[in-house]
């Protein structure tokens, strides 16, 4: 698998568990902009359900959402 595919798999596995806390380092690295947009929406859903999220991100437009 490519680096982006591995990243999507790891994040997908984490999101399927609806975790209470999520630490994510550079989630946009190697991913297509459309996929990043969907991930931001999924993480927003986690936050709205009360999960804590720590996001380390190089793209300020992604981190600021």
**pTM for this predicted structure:** 0.76
Element of type H or E holding 55: strand 52-56
Cα–Cα distance, 41 to 51 (Å, whole number): 14
Task: Show pLDDT as tens, one digit a residue, over the chain (65 residues).
Answer: 888 788 888 888 988 888 899 998 888 888 888 988 888 898 888 899 999 999 898 888 777 76
Total residues found in the chain within this entry: 65
Q: What is the pLDDT of residue 50?
A: 93
Q: How far apart, in Å, are the Cα atoms of 45 and each of 1, 2, 32, 50? A: 28, 27, 20, 9
pLDDT for the residue 4: 79
Helical (H) or strand (E) element with 23: strand 21-25
Distance CA 59, CA 37 (A): 12
């Amino acid at each position: 698998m490519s680096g982006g595919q591995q990243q999507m798999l790891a994040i997908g596995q984490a999101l399927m568990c609806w975790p209470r806390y999520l630490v994510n380092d550079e989630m946009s690295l190697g991913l297509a902009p459309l996929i990043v947009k969907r991930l931001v929406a999924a993480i927003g859903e986690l936050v709205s359900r009360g999960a804590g999220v720590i996001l380390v991100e190089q793209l300020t437009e992604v981190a600021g959402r």
